[in-house]
Chains A and B, each alone.
Chain A
Amino acid sequence: MSDHGHDHPHAPVTSGDEPPAAARARALEDLLVEKRVVRHEDVRQMIDWLVSRTPADGARLVARGWLDPEFEERLLADARAAALELGLDPGPSPRVVAVENTEAVHHLVVCTLCSCYPRALLGPPPDWYKSLPYRSRAVSDPRGVLSEFGVELDDDVELRVLDSTADIRYLVIPRRPPGTEGLSEEELAALVTRDSMIGVAQPLATAPAG
């Protein structure tokens, strides 16, 4: 996500496969700026903020929690405060709640009514998270959904699905993979994928190549 063309915000970026909504969105911004309802600079700044959000922040929280049980306690008690403690931006959501996967419990997050997601800490939600089949099936057939994502839970693991129906944002703390003793926070964070913090994947067992 490097060049979004916002250096020339009024240049008519036309593309054959753009939906009519694209021109509509640009015209709406123009109208709102003309009416002094918003300032162009503020919209740009918001775009910069959105583009700056990535799962790396969530991964750092998780990795720090794996290394420091006392930090993990604080993360579980108040994820927003824990993020601020690491100098991370937890975003405007009133509350972020972290839930911990253990040997006995696995969590999966969905928003059946819309697409609530801890965007400040995880970046934009993936398309499938916002899709109608995921929103339908993650609550009624979560083990089938997990299976589609390649996750087969052991028979003795309880599955807890969290439907974010209000303004609480849920973040899953996945289980630390075995054999990762001695890794640094940074190395551990590289194992924590976005999907593992939604609950549709386990963290990586080894660092991705490159």
Chain B
Amino acid sequence: MERAVHDRGGWPTDARIDRREHELADWELLTDALVGTLMREGVMNVDELRRGIESMPPDEYERASYYERWLYSVETALREKGVLAPGELDRRLAP
């Protein structure tokens, strides 16, 4: 059975655990708070957040930082729900 990329328990690795920590950057807190607000408002739920994260292409999942995964997922959910039109956020970001 092929394993999904997020299903990490016992995943073969000898990697030591990097114990460096960083204080959350503004955008990370913002992403967390946006998701929290969307959940409180009933726009999306935690299972949708998790499912969206799990739907990332595996190599992207492994490369992405924690809140990059959240952002990917919340964008996915908002597009599915029709809150964001396809490409809307990209257009907003275009110079």
- Give the B-binding residues of A (Cβ under 8 A): 1, 4-6, 13, 18-19, 21-32, 35, 37-38, 42-44, 46-47, 49-51, 92, 112-115, 124, 126-128, 130-137, 139-140, 145, 148-149, 163, 167
Give the Cβ gap from B27 to chain A, nearest Cβ, in Å.
4
* Known contacts A19-B65, A25-B31, A43-B33; A113/B7 CB under 8 A: yes
Are the C-beta atoms of A29 and B34 separated by less than 8 Å? Answer: yes
* Known contacts A133-B16, A139-B10; A13/B26 CB under 8 A: yes
Main secondary structure of the interface of B (DSSP, over half): helix
User: What residues of B have a CB within 8 angstroms of the CB of A4 in the complex?
Assistant: 26, 29
Chain B: residues with Cβ within 8 Å of the partner, total of 53
Are the C-beta atoms of A30 and B92 separated by less than 8 Å? Answer: yes
Give the Cβ gap from B45 to chain A, nearest Cβ, in Å.
11
User: What residues of A have a CB within 8 angstroms of the CB of B93 in the complex?
Assistant: 23-24, 27
Are the C-beta atoms of B18 and A128 separated by less than 8 Å? Answer: yes
* Known contacts A18-B25, A22-B26, A50-B32; A139/B9 CB under 8 A: yes
Instruction: Give the docked Cα–Cα distance between A98 and B5 (Å).
Output: 30
Within 8 A of A (CB), among B45-85: 46, 50, 53, 62, 65-68, 71, 74-75, 78, 83-84
- Contacts A18-B27, A26-B30, A27-B92 known; list 17 others, CB within 8 Å: A6-B26, A21-B27, A26-B27, A28-B34, A28-B74, A30-B92, A31-B88, A32-B34, A32-B78, A115-B66, A127-B66, A128-B17, A128-B18, A131-B17, A131-B18, A136-B11, A136-B15
- Give the A-binding residues of B (Cβ under 8 A): 6-13, 15-34, 36-41, 43, 46, 50, 53, 62, 65-68, 71, 74-75, 78, 83-84, 88-89, 92-93
Give the Cβ gap from A31 to chain B, nearest Cβ, in Å.
6
